[in-house]
Amino acid sequence: MTSPFRGRALIINNNKYRIGGERLGSSYDVDNTFALFRKMGFEAVKQKDLTAEGILQCIQSETRDEIHNTYGMFFLFLFAHGANGMIHGVDSQPVCLTQIYSLINSTNFPNMAGKPKVVVIQACRVGNSVSQTEQNIQQSTNSSSPELSALRTHQQEAETSTGQRNFDVDDLLILHSCFESKNLVHR
């Protein structure tokens, strides 16, 4: 089976937060990214203003779509507020980037196994560490779905004795818009 598209680009843009207002310039970046990937022959899909749980559900739904059998590569764009090791849903709840990487690894995204997957994160990287974020997520009652609980259990089991995680990400490229411990410069 072949596709008229080279691949798929999922663009998640958290622009209007319940607390903290709007991310200025975000719509401009998303529109340009969408147009660029359409011109390059990708099917581009936009999702806007998702909660923390909504982000994970959107990505998980994407990984289950059989259409990926026909695509050659996958891009995931995350435009959001964030901190070290996380992004925020519009409900200001954190999502650990490790959760996202786990969702799109070759085991959990079998239709794209062995094909290039690229994650582009446009978010600040100042603030909580991943370990603090994971504690916040575990204590949070807002994202207590059975699927998310199972993902957290899987991640905990994947930790090795050195504290490193095995994400099965040999076909994954991760790009950040700024260095660790830095804020984005907004227009």
Which positions are annotated as active-site residues?
A: 81, 124
Distance CA 178, CA 104 (A): 22
Q: To 10 degrees, what angle do helices 146-158 and 52-64 make? A: 80
- Rg of the Cα atoms in the chain: 16
* Strand-by-strand arrangement of the 94-96 sheet: 82-83, 86-88, 94-96
Provide the β-strand partners of residue 11.
46, 77
